[in-house]
Amino acid sequence: MQFHGGGGAALSASSSFLTLGVIKSPPPYQTKATWPRRPAATRAVVSALAQNHPDPDPKFSISDDALMSRGFALHRSAAGLNLDQLNSIFVAVGFPRRDPEKVRVALEHTPSLLWIEHRKTQRPVAFARATGDGVFNAIIWDVVVDPSYQGIGLGKAVMERLVAELLQMGINNIALYSEPRVLGFYRPLGFAADPDGIRGMVYSRKQKRQK
Ligand SMILES: CC(C)(COP(=O)(O)OP(=O)(O)OC[C@H]1O[C@@H](n2cnc3c(N)ncnc32)[C@H](O)[C@@H]1OP(=O)(O)O)[C@@H](O)C(=O)NCCC(=O)NCCS
């Protein structure tokens, strides 16, 4: 799902809610006493998925060095990121163009982000970010790869690293909204739709236009 800098609906009706398949603690709004105990069969599934837990030396499908040798530089902060060029990628993949000032503010409030630069052109070609409370929960937004660079592993490269970073911070409840056509991209990365029947909801009441 994309984040919207301006007005309009924040989520298309066809989007799905996905969470990483590692839920070790109750959501913060539930006490341990009310958190339902998992049946044995479910616990087995969860422990298998728990391999996604923090790894001191996470192995990625493509290493930083391999990315570099293919002409791509990985960045873990917004420093040096040209927001107009990022906006152009959003537009190229069908997201709305956003107010650059709002994008700047949003990124200031984004503790975890990754982007990949094509070194020859010095342009961003892949991006993903996560917001959250820094302890329990995070939501991933704006996973995009420039259409000219899709299908060569860059989306997976940013997602693997973003998830690894969140898990290393101890954040196990990681969610995102996915367009139906992208579910197959997120599933192998450890995400499941409606895990344990938990459904995502978004505020969708139409706002009156402000004059
Ligand atoms: C979705 C997106 C981020 C994927 O990035 P990408 O760089 O093209 O994907 P990768 O090359 O890293 O693909 C990684 C794996 O996912 C698979 N994959 C990629 N897109 C997929 C899709 N839409 N459905 C199913 N599988 C997909 C690839 O085949 C590859 O599989 P492999 O590891 O077995 O070889 C990119 O296509 C994109 O920016 N799309 C438009 C914006 C968008 O929809 N973002 C998500 C918003 S919810």
**b/e code 182-204 from CB counts within 10 Å (16+ = b):** beeebeebbbbbebeeeebeeee
Q: How far is ligand 1, taken at its centre, from the CA of residue 186, in Å?
A: 8
> Is 32's C-beta closer than 6 angstroms to any atom of ligand 1?
no
Residue 23: per-residue pLDDT: 40
pLDDT at 90: 97
Which pLDDT score is estimated for 55?
60
Supply the residue whose CA is at minimum distance from atom 19 of ligand 1. 185
Ligand 1 mutation target, pool 185, 189, 191, 202, most atoms within 8 A of CB: 185
Confidence (pLDDT) at 211: 57
What's the confidence (pLDDT) of residue 117? 98
Catalytic residues: 186
What pLDDT does 195 receive? 92
Place of tokens 């949003």: 106
The rounded Å distance from CA 94 to ligand 1 centre is 15
Q: Is the CB of 110 under 6 A from ligand 1?
A: no
| Structure confidence at residue 179 (pLDDT) | 94
pTM of the predicted model over 0.85: no
CB burial class (10 A; 0-12, 13-18, 19+) of residue 112?
buried
The ligand 1 atom nearest the CA atom of 156:
12
Low-confidence ranges of the chain (pLDDT < 70): 1-14, 21-57, 209-211
In angstroms, rounded to a whole number, what is the distance separating the alpha carbons of residues 162 and 71? 20
CA nearest ligand 1 atom 34, residue: 188
Expressed in angstroms and rounded, the spacing between residue 112 Cα and the centre of ligand 1 is 20
Specify the pLDDT at position 19: 87
User: Relative to the CA of 182, which ligand 1 atom is closest?
Assistant: 23
Of 67, 139, 182, which is best to mutate to test ligand 1, by the most ligand atoms within 8 angstroms of its C-beta?
182
User: Measured between alpha carbons, how far is residue 24 from residues 7, 16, 43, 86, 125 in Å?
Assistant: 36, 22, 10, 35, 34
Residue 18: how many CA atoms within 13 Å on its side-chain side? 23
Is 151 close to ligand 1, i.e. is its CB under 6 Å away? yes
The reported pLDDT for the residue numbered 201 is 92
Query: What pLDDT does residue 149 have?
Result: 98
What pLDDT is attached to residue 33? 33
Task: Name the region of 190 (left: φ>0; alpha: ψ -120 to 50; beta: rest).
Answer: left
Residue nearest atom 12 of ligand 1, based on CA coordinates: 153
